[in-house]
Amino acid sequence: MNRARVLITSLTVLAAGQAGCIYRGTPVPVAGDTRLLAGEWEGTYESEATGRSGIITFSLKAGTDSAFGDVLMVPRRAEYPQAPGAEPGGNLPRAMTRLLRISFVWCAAGAVTGRLDPYEDPDTGERIQTVFEGLLDRSTFAGTFVSVYATSGRRVAGTWTVTRKSGGGGPQVAPRSDASPRPGPGCRPPG
């Protein structure tokens, strides 16, 4: 089974398990020009440094200041469904996919910044803080993120992309080459 299929299956199972109702994601406070974020967004992230990747979902109804969104993290040694007839067990530790909460988003002038709630590294258990930033190009935000490990101070980076799937009532921003994202309040890389 390929990794994309496992990600989609994991997200579907996770969504179905939410108290028998439709899973909308974690409430996320947003600030700035929220019109740019209006709609249903889906995408992915990856970090070559950690070998992790995952799915990003985000939705914001036009005219509101709260969105709903999450990041589904798939660790390098994710626990995949076992193939029929395969021997159970194995010596490698198996990490579960994990739902990470987006805790704040700020958007202005075609740039977005934000942060995730702190979470534990699935391999070491060390606490991690992650911030992200990106630029809007028509209906796609693309950018980078930095994760800082609280104990060791290790910093790792990666990339992410989300595309508006529906509900795009906000303005469409053309590609920018003259500016980089400027962090909003509390969105500067930790440490």
Domains and CATH numbers, the chain: 26-77+95-166 (2.40.128)
CA 78 to chain centre: 17
Tokens, residue 40: 């249903």
Closest CA to 56 of 80, 28, 36: 28
Is this structure's pTM higher than 0.85?
no
Write phi, then psi, for 109 (nearest 5 degrees): 50, 40
pLDDT tens for the chain, residues 1 to 191: 444 443 333 433 344 343 344 555 678 888 888 888 888 999 999 999 988 889 998 888 777 777 888 888 876 655 455 555 555 555 444 457 888 888 888 999 999 999 999 999 988 899 999 999 999 998 999 999 999 999 999 999 999 999 999 876 555 544 444 444 444 443 444 44
Q: Cα separation of 174 and 3, whole Å?
A: 32
